[in-house]
A and B are shown apart, each in its own frame.
Chain A
Amino acid sequence: MHILFDQADLRYGERIALHPLSLELTDRRIGVIGLNGSGKTSFARLVNGLAKPSHGRVTLDGLDTVTDEKAVMAATGFIFQNPGNQIILPIIRDDIALGPKSRGLKGEALDQAVDTVLTRFGIADLASRRPHELSGGQLQLAALAAVVVTEPKLILFDEPTNQLDLKNRALVKAAIDSLSEQAIVISHDLDLVRDFGRVLVFHEGRLAFDGAGEVAIARYLEIAAC
């Protein structure tokens, strides 16, 4: 998707979460790094319309996140920091089916769509399980399957490997790498975005650097050391 920030900012009263930003993004993989409170999540929430710009505008393939909110939400998927809060039905299979079902898919087509994503992420054996029975990595994969099944063009990940052990982290990284969809990955896990062609570094609500993974990480480490 062609993501365009046109002098878009985000304010909560006097507090500026993100200063005016103008930016164009078309890359298949985009990393977003920065210290806590640097504006990373505000940036992601502006992209998919969960937050509306206080000034300026954000468009995705020409769709305005304010006036075309539903179309923007339908074209994007969001994986939250806590995937447990994203899985909203008690059985994994039912939860994955919820998105396509609310878009009108039913019967065999619905079953087939759910089976396809379960197999794609290697979690077919978790279909009848309950969320609290799953590990952090399995929860992330289930949340990802529930998003991918609705066929978004762009998927945003908000710290997807947060609190995961090495094994689960590798599972999630492999799943992200395998995606054919465009992805924006916000992460404190620098290895996750190291290979990305484009990584944005945010600092104190401003875009501090925009470039390839290795260089962006070096810049971020300089900022963090100050």
Chain B
Amino acid sequence: MLNSLHVEGRTLLHRLPAGPKLALLAAVSLALFFVQSLPILALSLAVTGLLYGSLGLSAGEALKRIRPVLITILLFALVNLVLISATEALTTTLRLLSVLLLAASVTATTTIAAFMDVLTKLFLPLERLGLLKAADISLAVGLVLRFVPEIAARYEGLKEAHRARGLPVRLSRILGPLIISTLKDADSIAQAIDARGIRGQ
């Protein structure tokens, strides 16, 4: 997630505003899907790899951040090797790896606050049409990033409480208290948002 993956730094990507960076990511990702040339895709992988490598992360940390998606891409590549030709499988894999490394680089150099600002600007036209409040959309994204780890921690806490009482841990048994406590917290979070005057200014 953005909040846990952002790293402080002074690289070119860090200095670039979030808007152009996200636009670049979208444009390059889209463009790569029209490229069929293996040398160009290999070059793209080398460039995005260098970019990701230039962020100053240790090899272990750099790998840890992209490992889940990397494993998915590699599994996808294995399936492709069975279903389509080796050249086509390689083309797809190089393409996905390039997008992964570029996205990881943008994520590592963009703060959640900057990301929220871009979202707010993106939704401003819809706000002008009276359809929504742009700041609410970005606030919702910020809230998800903030509270998903809290809900995961609460789930772990409920699991431990069950174990401590000698009860078998079953999702069906945990889901109820998890949802109820999350809803109760949601209520107090909403009150805090109101009390801090963050919405409706």
Contact = CB atoms under 8 A, between A and B. Distances in A.
User: Most B CB atoms within 10 A — which of A48, A98, A104?
Assistant: A98
B185 A85 contact: yes
Interface string A80-92: 1010111111110
Interface string A130-158: 11100000000000001100100000000
B153 interface: yes
Contacts of A147: 196
Contacts of B143: 88
B197 to A, nearest CB: 5
B193 to A, nearest CB: 6
Q: State the majority secondary structure of interface residues on B.
A: helix
B124 to A, nearest CB: 15
B153 A132 contact: yes
B121 to A, nearest CB: 13
Contacts of A130: 3-4, 149
A74 B197 contact: yes
Given A50-B194, A85-B192, A94-B111, A102 B135 contact: yes
Contacts, number: 87
B196 A90 contact: no
Given A91-B111, A103-B201, A130-B4, A73 B189 contact: no
Given A50-B191, A98-B196, A130-B3, A91 B150 contact: no
A124 to B, nearest CB: 15
Interface residues of B, number: 32
A97 interface: yes
Contacts of A98: 196, 198
Contact of A90 (B8, B135, B142, B193): B142
A128 interface: yes
Contacts of A85: 185, 188-189, 192
Interface in B166-201: 185, 188-189, 191-201
A36 B200 CA distance: 33
B137 to A, nearest CB: 14
Contacts of A77: 195-196
A73 B192 contact: no
Contact of B197 (A84, A103, A131): A103
B14 to A, nearest CB: 14
A87 B193 CA distance: 9
B174 to A, nearest CB: 20
A150 B127 CA distance: 25
Contacts of B188: 80, 82, 85
Contacts of A91: 3, 6, 111-113
A8 B196 CA distance: 24
Contacts of B6: 91
Contacts of A99: 196-198
Contact of B113 (A74, A84, A94): A94
Given A82-B188, A88-B189, A94-B111, A73 B195 contact: yes
Given A80-B191, A85-B192, A90-B1, 17 more contacts: A70-B197, A70-B200, A77-B195, A77-B196, A80-B192, A82-B188, A87-B146, A88-B142, A88-B146, A89-B146, A90-B112, A98-B198, A99-B196, A103-B197, A132-B149, A150-B196, A150-B197
Which 8 pairs from chain A and chain B are nearest by CB? A90-B3, A78-B195, A94-B113, A86-B192, A90-B146, A85-B188, A102-B201, A89-B142
19 contacts: A82-B185, A85-B189, A86-B189, A87-B146, A88-B142, A88-B146, A89-B142, A90-B2, A91-B111, A91-B112, A98-B198, A99-B197, A99-B198, A102-B135, A102-B198, A130-B4, A132-B153, A150-B196, A150-B197
Interface of A: 48, 50, 70, 73-74, 76-78, 80, 82, 84-91, 94, 97-99, 102-104, 128, 130-132, 146-147, 150
